[in-house]
Chain A
């Protein structure tokens, strides 16, 4: 552990002069090294019709490269599962499964988060124009839809993070409504 810490420190020191050259390729490479793990999330949806945001929270689990489970506990239990090319939503007694390959819009949404988590630049650039800002320890990746069908619904997706960890995701919809999700890892991925 100490050795790894030292190695990271050394690496960080060694790369400090190159901070200006921090780019998407480096971010993607780093994200791709994240094997996955568990996190808690809190999501706030700001909807014009409502005076207050709708808040939900729960747990998330990601296993590289394509398994993502979002288990909402509040206000009502619900489970969303993205596994390879299938998306499953379970709520109460109901369960829906969709195949992503035939739902390009939903696939694009799924790819925005999953592509970021797995550092899959190719998947991201299929539907979005990427813009990176900030530093390695506090980066912000902006996704602007290049696919017109997605642009109809979403204006921008902003993903923030630190090193290989995604910390927040914000969706801004075309009607001005937005959803902000904060992600807090429970345990450091080993």
Chain B
């Protein structure tokens, strides 16, 4: 007998082993990738690149607080030194004067290659005269004291020309020689990690390194402390939050469900058997996602806790409804078709998520389908073989009988359903402008405390918000730089007209070879320059015989090797170039961040696009683009949810055949959706697309309960055992989803607060509408 029975069990064990292996070897992620589109437009592609690999994603802002300003400055220098030695960062900047001196040295020695003012005209007699006059005027300024020493080398003021083109958007304040916040209460450092933003492990290591290095520094004041922010900090924190949430929520809901089952069954064996389909379902879900997507997102696992609540329903139905003599055969015959239909409706609901362009949702869909189908199958085909013949669970018929009168009372209130639904509809109509959350931030797993710190550190640094970008693509570096220079000329005009406040370009510190050569060629030969200089200085207070150093420097510049990325290494100029000029597998990308004009004048995209017309450059408003992205997600999610609901309705129409029965099943679902949405709107929750998914889940999960109440042969309200099993199953589901409602991770919380109340409500409304059987 055992051998004959073993086949489904063996198959199950084999499947379990394969799933467990796949789950163990799966790659787990928790980064932002689940929130980014799979098939983006070029502008979205850029947004994704910026979020995953770009400068923004690799930027860390560090604040040091406590102690005296001098002490903070010492800590800033010591920390910068350690971090640079550590090698995890491509750049460590704290405004230290020594590093700025290195930058200045590079700028000065390459001034004739870098200064945009270097043209043949500038080195004509008239050009020289005008440039020298301007330099002498500048000596009158307080800044002139610093420039006096440069005059004999740089009488045309190329150094000032270069400094003038540097973005004057306001550099950070300085205190004791290093960057500090405006109020002087913090020392500030700006770091760029070597690892890309998508590599959360490497980012976590970098963050840990900063903390460890800071902890290792000798401190005078015990209250000196480190603040850290940046995209990587968000990613690492949210991953940690999601991971700990996944474990915490699963533990809580598993424990709660086990307690519930023990309370009902009063049999450890039954509880253990009852959990088998759940475990199988969870493993199958992870394995399916690992196979289908290559990696499993932490959120998917966190969501798995809901599966515990749903999958356990099947075993509750099985144990409770098949209890008693010959219960099993009767269960297969009476209840299995209803459960099967319930599984199918759920699967249809989740299947619509598979088509989502939002990888997080698609994973969730696949996970749930695989999990539910395998849990139901294990319940149906494996549990009967494993169930000991003498297994007896507590008879819960009395419990059902006790509830029955309550449910009968409830059905008297059936008129309340249209009233409630109508009221809910009115609420929704009056709140229609405040129902949906706008923007991706509602989906961000970052806590608001993290976001506030980021804002504050960013403001200290005057860090560009990188909202507006001009993007260029080119086949090689030289072409990319040439294109950047061409666009730069157009943008310069806009700056002059006041349309733009300023912009950054990699060509500022690394001009194209063609431009560098052209500048070199505008420098006259030594004798010729000396002649022109003599003529230019007639009537000037400066005599040519004092400018020998200038003649020497220009002569050297004519033969100077051109600037390359290598010659910028070790300076902060190199960082500026590297972050704006990116090598990609398919070519080179240039980013040119734009700054809006001073004051609150917004940028005029039309003017910028007009200036860029024909250059092949793309103007991107990152904020606008991410709003579009979110809107596209929302539209898609609405469409998919409607499609999922429609599929469920069609399936039930086919199976139930009678319109009356279909309506009886649909009304509780529809009313529940309205009431839950109205409830969320009334409590001030802004709905995101995760709430929308929750709505779909209400249909997918709730239809199971509605179907039981529609069974033609028996009203559960008249069958105490079935009624009890339904209530208990519902309780298990609410525990699963309810645990999510208390999660601080917004995504999980959204689903929890939608589906938890929805599940209870569907059951109650379905009970009210249950058909009256003959007494």
Q: Does A76 contact B (CB under 8 A)?
A: yes
In the complex, what's the smallest C-beta–C-beta distance from B167 to chain A, in angstroms? 11
Q: Does A23 contact B (CB under 8 A)?
A: no
Q: Does A140 contact B (CB under 8 A)?
A: no
Tell me the complex Cα distance, A94–B176, Å.
Answer: 23
A75 touches B140 (CB 8 A): yes
Q: Does B194 contact A (CB under 8 A)?
A: no
B541 touches A102 (CB 8 A): no
In the complex, what's the smallest C-beta–C-beta distance from B179 to chain A, in angstroms? 10
Mark interface residues in B121-155 (1 if CB within 8 Å of A CB, else 0): 00000000000000011111111100010011000
Mark interface residues in A32-64 (1 if CB within 8 Å of B CB, else 0): 000000000001010101111011100000000
A99 touches B140 (CB 8 A): no
Tell me the complex Cα distance, A95–B140, Å.
Answer: 17
Chain A residues with CB under 8 A of B546: 49
Q: Does A8 contact B (CB under 8 A)?
A: no
Chain B residues with CB under 8 A of A91: 141, 143
Given contacts A47-B139, A50-B136, A54-B139, A99 and B184 within 8 Å (CB-CB): yes
In the complex, what's the smallest C-beta–C-beta distance from A65 to chain B, in angstroms? 20
Q: Does B164 contact A (CB under 8 A)?
A: yes
In the complex, what's the smallest C-beta–C-beta distance from A47 to chain B, in angstroms? 6
A89 touches B143 (CB 8 A): yes
Chain A residues with CB under 8 A of B142: 70, 78, 80, 89
Chain B residues with CB under 8 A of A51: 541-543
Given contacts A47-B148, A93-B168, A95-B168, A101 and B175 within 8 Å (CB-CB): yes
B140 touches A101 (CB 8 A): no
B177 touches A102 (CB 8 A): yes
Chain A residues with CB under 8 A of B173: 97, 99
Contact of B137 among A70, A76, A94, A102 (CB under 8 A): A76
Tell me the complex Cα distance, A10–B168, Å.
Answer: 56
Chain B residues with CB under 8 A of A80: 142
B168 touches A94 (CB 8 A): yes
Q: Does A72 contact B (CB under 8 A)?
A: yes
Chain A residues with CB under 8 A of B170: 95, 97
Contact of B541 among A52, A75, A93, A101 (CB under 8 A): A52
B141 touches A72 (CB 8 A): yes
**From residue 97 to 115 of chain A, which have CB atoms closer than 8 A to chain B?**
97-99, 101-103
Write the chain B residue with the least CB distance to A104.
Answer: B176
Tell me the complex Cα distance, A99–B69, Å.
Answer: 12
Interface residues on A, range: 20 to 34
Chain B residues with CB under 8 A of A78: 141-142
A177 touches B148 (CB 8 A): yes
Q: Does B23 contact A (CB under 8 A)?
A: no
B177 touches A49 (CB 8 A): no
CB < 8 Å A-B pair total? 72
A75 touches B137 (CB 8 A): yes
**From residue 173 to 217 of chain B, which have CB atoms closer than 8 A to chain A?**
173-177, 180, 184
Tell me the complex Cα distance, A153–B168, Å.
Answer: 28
Chain B residues with CB under 8 A of A101: 69, 175-176, 184
B164 touches A99 (CB 8 A): no
Tell me the complex Cα distance, A19–B201, Å.
Answer: 79
Tell me the complex Cα distance, A91–B87, Å.
Answer: 40
A102 touches B176 (CB 8 A): yes
Tell me the complex Cα distance, A89–B138, Å.
Answer: 13
Given contacts A102-B176, A177-B148, A56 and B140 within 8 Å (CB-CB): yes
Given contacts A47-B148, A50-B541, A98 and B174 within 8 Å (CB-CB): yes
Q: Does B481 contact A (CB under 8 A)?
A: no
In the complex, what's the smallest C-beta–C-beta distance from A73 to chain B, in angstroms? 11
Mark interface residues in A75-87 (1 if CB within 8 Å of B CB, else 0): 1101010000000
Q: Does B73 contact A (CB under 8 A)?
A: yes
Tell me the complex Cα distance, A93–B164, Å.
Answer: 9
Mark interface residues in B527-570 (1 if CB within 8 Å of A CB, else 0): 00000000000000111001000000000000000000000000
Tell me the complex Cα distance, A177–B138, Å.
Answer: 16
Write the chain A residue with the least CB distance to B143.
Answer: A89
Write the chain B residue with the least CB distance to A97.
Answer: B173
Given contacts A91-B141, A101-B69, A50 and B542 within 8 Å (CB-CB): yes
Tell me the complex Cα distance, A54–B542, Å.
Answer: 11
Chain A residues with CB under 8 A of B176: 101-102
Mark interface residues in B236-247 (1 if CB within 8 Å of A CB, else 0): 000000000000
**From residue 103 to 150 of chain A, which have CB atoms closer than 8 A to chain B?**
103
Query: Known contacts A78-B141, A101-B175; can you find 16 more A-B pairs with CB under 8 A?
Result: A45-B144, A49-B542, A54-B137, A54-B541, A56-B141, A76-B137, A76-B138, A76-B141, A89-B142, A89-B143, A99-B173, A99-B184, A101-B176, A101-B184, A102-B73, A103-B174
A interface with B by C-beta (< 8 Å): 43, 45, 47, 49-52, 54-56, 70, 72, 75-76, 78, 80, 89, 91, 93-99, 101-103, 177
B interface with A by C-beta (< 8 Å): 69, 73, 136-144, 148, 151-152, 164, 168, 170-171, 173-177, 180, 184, 541-543, 546
**What are 19 pairs between A and B in contact, CB < 8 Å?**
A43-B140, A45-B140, A45-B144, A47-B148, A49-B542, A51-B541, A54-B139, A56-B141, A75-B137, A89-B143, A91-B143, A93-B168, A95-B168, A99-B175, A99-B180, A101-B175, A101-B184, A102-B180, A177-B148
- Which 5 pairs of residues, A with B, have the shortest CB-CB distance? A56-B140, A52-B541, A50-B541, A102-B176, A102-B175
